[in-house]
Amino acid sequence: MSSHRELIPAPRNLVAGSGEVRLTAHSRLYADTGLEGVGHWLRTVLRQATGLPLREVREFGDPDDTEGDPEYDGIGLRLDPGLGPEEYRLVSDPSSGVLIEGGSAAGVFWGAQTLRQLLGPDAYRRAPVRRDRIWAVPQVTVEDGPRFRWRGLMLDVARHFMPKEGVLRYLDLMAAHKLNVFHFHLTDDQGWRVEIERYPKLTETGSWRARTKFGHRASPLWEEKPHGGFYTQDDIREIVAYAAERHISVVPEIDVPGHSQAAIAAYPELGNTDVIDTTSLAVWGDWGISHNVLAPTDNTLRFYEGVFEEVLGLFPGEFIHIGGDECAKEQWRASPTAQARIRELGLGDEDGLQAWFVRHFDTWLTARGRRLVGWDEILEGGLAPGAAVSSWRGYAGGITAARAGHDVVMCPEQQVYLDHRQHGGPDEPVPIGYVRTLEDVFRFEPVPPELGPEEARHVLGTQANLWTEAMEDTGRVDYQAFPRLAAFAEVAWSALPAPAERDFAGFERRMTAHYGRLDALGVGYRPPSGPRPWQRRPGVLGRPIEGAPPNV
Ligand code: ACM
């Protein structure tokens, strides 16, 4: 069997024949009305990789368009309303070419990604490497569709900024793995990364820090150089449009009321000025949970409504993430203003105050036709029915949320935090948290057995999270993300059996083919034999997590 048929994520059904469809200089590409975007994408990537013209034709299988080529070998893209929105059927037949039919443009696009895998690793290159090579699609019928509608990746660009080109590249990598939600963690204590026109200091001041902790938060090491950067509004528009071309929606995260020190450094009046002198606060260079959180005042609410107004203009998707995690309460306990607000509104305590803060933006977003999503701490105060929860502190938050009728994205840190180390050995360059191997991720099950079928319908899907405290550049991100993101993609897309019954040996065999694709894409993954010498980083301290094995 051709290794090119070793698809990742695994399709629902694949029937292989013994023939092949050759793509040649005569091969044409046909796209139905409504599929111009997918056609443009597919022609662009295949032209780059193959050098073949793949001219556009008006009809698929029209013999007049084949210029007498005896073997019609075109690619056709068609809509089939009988298929579900993200479902596709790919038939590669020596007598009729390659036909990809989908229930929507997204379905056809996922089918086009499968076609690229079937063509072999060189189909991922940006220019042809062998002019004389034969491009062949093995004879197959693939019927496929996703298990979950939310197949997410979160990228933290606040702890370490990833320049726009890197973000676009990650969108391409997501698309190649049929992932479709990009959770863009844009603000945190350590940096504010999105231009907000009415508050220019958020990026002028809030996007740079003077120095950065190297290693986990107890590490004595500092990198004494400024770090930062931000995306202009046009950069964001470009990223969102680029994602949309790849059928990926972007969920922006503006983290409130904790994880806000960069915003307070830019606009000191946002902080608890009756507790500390916020005018001396800088963008944080350390890791962990900062005590410097937003003051629960009307001024803060109006300020962030202004931020969210611009965010809504930039991000057209259904969901807006408001963070809501790890809000330290010390300053609110000490603040007469915060305490007065708790009394006035009968909120009980600081947890009630946090819930009030989240509910304000829940109502505000709902009134504007959007849905709030937040980390599972937001469950602690009562939410509008449309609000959704990112369950990160294990499954518990997700179970509670689903039982209360809220939609859930399962992203437990014990399973799918890809910043955690992927091997127990001493060579792991960033030895943080739990050891979570490729096999562990492959055996991750997003729907816990505690949920009945009705409750489980609230699990929109799952998401892998990449926090970047210890990933200062794209190479480090690649190492942490891959190959585990390929296993995660299979969990999110494929209808796998129960964890213990999953065929990891089979997955590893398919990964042998997939490493070739990742190599052609230039992904700096962790090889199965361990990190390459330049990927090691002796002496960097990891971050201990309670209950996890001790760090090296
Ligand atoms: C989180 O990891 N604080 C969501």
| Total-model pTM | 0.96
User: Do residue 162 and residue 63 come from a single domain?
Assistant: no
Token reading at 110: 């996922």
CA 444-445-447 angle, 5° bins: 155
- Per DSSP bridges, beta strands 222-223 and 212-213 are antiparallel
Q: How far is the CA of 312 from the centre of ligand 1 (A)?
A: 23
How many separate domains does the chain show?
A: 2
User: Do residue 126 and residue 185 come from a single domain?
Assistant: no
In a domain, 26, yes or no: yes
In a domain, 27, yes or no: yes
User: Do residue 255 and residue 188 come from a single domain?
Assistant: yes
Q: How far is Cα of residue 409 from the mean position of the Cα atoms in its chain?
A: 12
In a domain, 541, yes or no: no
User: Do residue 168 and residue 254 come from a single domain?
Assistant: yes
User: Do residue 118 and residue 252 come from a single domain?
Assistant: no
In a domain, 258, yes or no: yes
Query: For this structure, is 259 an active site residue?
Result: yes
Token reading at 160: 């370490």
Q: How far is the CA of 307 from the centre of ligand 1 (A)?
A: 22
Residue 326 CA: which ligand 1 atom is closest? 3
In a domain, 408, yes or no: yes
The boundaries of the domain holding residue 351 are 150-535
Query: Per-residue pLDDT for the chain (552 aa), expressed as one digit of tens each?
Result: 467 889 999 999 999 999 999 999 999 999 999 999 999 999 999 999 999 999 988 766 655 555 545 445 699 999 999 999 999 999 999 998 999 999 999 999 999 999 999 999 999 999 999 888 999 999 999 999 999 999 999 999 999 999 999 999 999 999 999 999 999 999 999 999 999 999 999 999 999 999 999 887 777 889 999 999 999 999 999 999 999 999 999 999 999 999 999 999 999 999 999 999 999 999 999 999 999 999 999 999 999 999 999 999 999 999 999 999 999 999 999 999 999 999 999 999 999 999 999 999 999 999 999 999 999 999 987 788 889 999 999 999 999 999 999 999 999 999 999 999 999 888 888 778 889 999 999 999 999 999 999 999 999 999 999 999 999 999 999 999 999 999 999 999 999 999 999 999 999 999 999 999 999 999 999 999 999 999 988 766 665 544 444 432
User: Do residue 259 and residue 318 come from a single domain?
Assistant: yes
On whether the CB atoms of residues 283 and 190 are closer than 8 A, the answer is yes
The CATH number of whichever domain residue 426 belongs to comes to 3.20.20.80
Using DSSP, state whether 145 is helix, strand or coil.
Answer: coil
> Measured between alpha carbons, how far is 146 from 83 in angstroms, rounded to an integer?
12
Q: How far is the CA of 70 from the centre of ligand 1 (A)?
A: 59
Ramachandran angles phi, psi of 204, nearest 5°: -60, -45
On whether the CB atoms of residues 527 and 533 are closer than 8 A, the answer is no
Residue 467 CA: which ligand 1 atom is closest? 2
User: Do residue 104 and residue 169 come from a single domain?
Assistant: no
Q: Choose the catalytic residue: 80, 286, 326, 508.
A: 326
Residue located nearest, by CA, to atom 2 of ligand 1: 392
